[in-house]
């Protein structure tokens, strides 16, 4: 267990919707020169003949963009905790070129980690389940459906989502500061704060932990260590873990806490909605943000359906991230 934060968190990650709507510096538009630099790096990487996941940073040479990517890493780690990059010409690229460009940029931010039991390092967010409901099927993942996703974190320091195609309607991206949610709980419902630091069971939802072999892992929703606050929130994973023998039953207090987190995550005070455009990349620090999306209606034509590419990245400075967040935002066995 970590210490308990009893005062409002005052770091730059504790933002509100109004602040982000008033200051759009979180949107970074790539210049024509930067796009040309990425195109050249894609050509070099493809010229190596390596499969995507074997491409290294040295295979994807960038001249000026590493400084901007370093600034992005600093913003994610010690700033607001998210940023949107805009302007990649995905409509002009083949699937291979899109993938190499995205993978190559990710190499400058961190190391890719597996996203599921199949060992995938490069993921795709598409509706492939024909209307399956993850709320009633504990082994279904929201990113394979068109359903509205609950607010959650992913199993790495950073998640990147690159938009290739948008839906016919809906599918807006929602982002909220988890440190601001904490501040709202502390302000309005201080009695629930101790529950944030109690261990809970989280369901792997049809997959098993590579270390323990168990279908669940145990951690707390929040951790406070080294002056940093981190939140790990996956309500449906917490609730579906109740199916396992030996799981400590959720109390009324726990369910009230989960309701309150959802309430503040969805609130007009904190919830920031942003439209995804083709060529956008949304970068998020999972320790200090929660993300979600609205339900969407997809196109009938297969080649027009909504499609995001996804990376899960651990920072290169892993020791610093471990020391900073104490692994509480992202459990080491959650992947």
- Note the pTM of the prediction, 2 decimals: 0.89
Q: Which structural domain range is residue 154 located in?
A: 24-325
Domain membership flag for residue 18: no
Residue 332 confidence (pLDDT): 40
Residue 285 confidence (pLDDT): 95
Domain membership flag for residue 330: no
Helix axes 32-47, 95-107, angle to 10 degrees: 100
Owner of token pair 């940093």: 228
Distance CA 83, CA 48 (A): 31
Neighbours of 11 (CB within 10 A): 16
Domain membership flag for residue 86: yes
Domain total in the chain: 1
Residue 333 confidence (pLDDT): 40
Residue 319 confidence (pLDDT): 53
Distance CA 164, CA 177 (A): 26
Distance CA 298, CA 186 (A): 40
Domain membership flag for residue 217: yes
Domain membership flag for residue 5: no
Distance CA 287, CA 190 (A): 21
Domain membership flag for residue 16: no
Residue 3 confidence (pLDDT): 79
Per-residue pLDDT of the chain (335 residues; tens, 9 = 90+): 457 999 999 999 999 999 999 999 999 999 999 999 999 999 999 999 999 999 999 999 999 999 999 999 999 999 999 999 999 999 999 999 999 999 999 999 999 988 877 788 998 877 566 555 555 554 555 555 666 688 999 989 999 999 998 767 656 889 999 999 999 999 999 999 999 999 999 998 877 666 677 888 888 999 998 888 999 999 999 999 999 999 999 999 999 999 999 999 999 999 999 988 999 999 999 999 999 987 756 657 777 777 899 999 998 765 555 555 554 444 444 33
Domain membership flag for residue 171: yes
- Specify whether the backbone of 60 is left (phi greater than 0), alpha (psi in -120 to 50) or beta: beta
Domain membership flag for residue 32: yes
CATH of the domain at 96: 3.60.130.10
Distance CA 69, CA 51 (A): 24
């Amino acid at each position: 267990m970590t210490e308990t934060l009893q005062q409002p968190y005052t770091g730059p990650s504790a933002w509100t919707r109004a602040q982000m709507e008033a200051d759009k510096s979180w949107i970074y538009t790539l210049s024509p020169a930067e796009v040309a630099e990425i195109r050249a790096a894609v050509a070099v990487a493809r010229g190596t003949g390596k499969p995507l996941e074997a491409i290294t940073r040295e295979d994807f040479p960038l001249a000026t963009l590493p400084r901007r990517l370093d600034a992005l890493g600093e913003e994610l780690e010690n700033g607001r905790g998210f940023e949107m990059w805009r302007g990649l010409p995905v409509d002009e690229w083949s699937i291979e070129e899109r993938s190499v460009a995205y993978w190559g940029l990710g190499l400058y931010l961190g190391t890719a980690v597996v996203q599921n039991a199949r060992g995938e390092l490069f993921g795709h967010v598409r509706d492939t389940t024909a209307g399956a409901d993850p709320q009633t099927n504990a082994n279904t993942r929201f990113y394979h459906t068109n359903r509205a996703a609950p607010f959650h974190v992913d199993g790495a320091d950073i998640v990147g989502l690159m938009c290739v195609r948008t839906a016919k309607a809906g599918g807006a991206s929602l982002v909220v500061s988890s440190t601001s949610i904490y501040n709202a709980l502390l302000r309005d419902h201080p009695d629930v704060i101790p529950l944030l630091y109690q261990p809970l069971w989280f369901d792997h939802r049809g997959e098993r932990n590579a270390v323990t072999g168990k279908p669940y892992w145990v951690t707390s929703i929040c951790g406070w260590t080294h002056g940093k606050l981190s939140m790990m929130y996956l309500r449906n994973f917490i609730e579906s873990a109740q199916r396992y023998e030996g799981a400590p039953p959720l109390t009324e207090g726990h369910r009230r806490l989960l309701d309150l987190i959802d309430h503040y995550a969805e609130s007009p005070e904190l919830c920031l909605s942003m439209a995804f455009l083709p060529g956008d990349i949304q970068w998020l620090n999972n320790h200090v943000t929660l993300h979600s999306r609205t339900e969407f209606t997809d196109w009938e034509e297969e080649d027009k359906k909504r499609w995001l590419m996804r990376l899960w990245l651990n920072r290169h400075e892993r020791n610093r991230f471990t020391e900073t967040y104490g692994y509480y935002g992202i459990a080491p066995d959650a992947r």
